[in-house]
Amino acid sequence: MTLLNIIIVLVVVGVLLWLINNYIPMDRKIKSILNVVVLIAVVLWLLQAFGLLNALNVKI
């Protein structure tokens, strides 16, 4: 995966999250939970994309 693809995905996810936060009426708590879930998913995806997730050998 190239750096350009990673940047494009991050921009698309950011814009979609911004659109959801601004234009879909939801309770503030639900928006906060959604933001946290998306943030965790993006961080895990980035760790996997850069190969750091496999290097950590995280065992749950």
Phi-psi map region of 41: left, alpha, beta (phi>0 left; psi -120 to 50 alpha): alpha
25 lies in which domain range? Answer: 3-56
The sign of the torsion formed by the CA atoms of 15, 20, 22, 27 equals negative
Helices (H), 1-60: 3-23, 28-49, 52-56
Indicate the pTM of the whole model.
0.81
pLDDT digits (tens, 9 = 90+) for 10-58: 999 999 999 999 999 999 999 999 999 999 999 999 988 888 877 666 5
How many separate domains does the chain show? 1
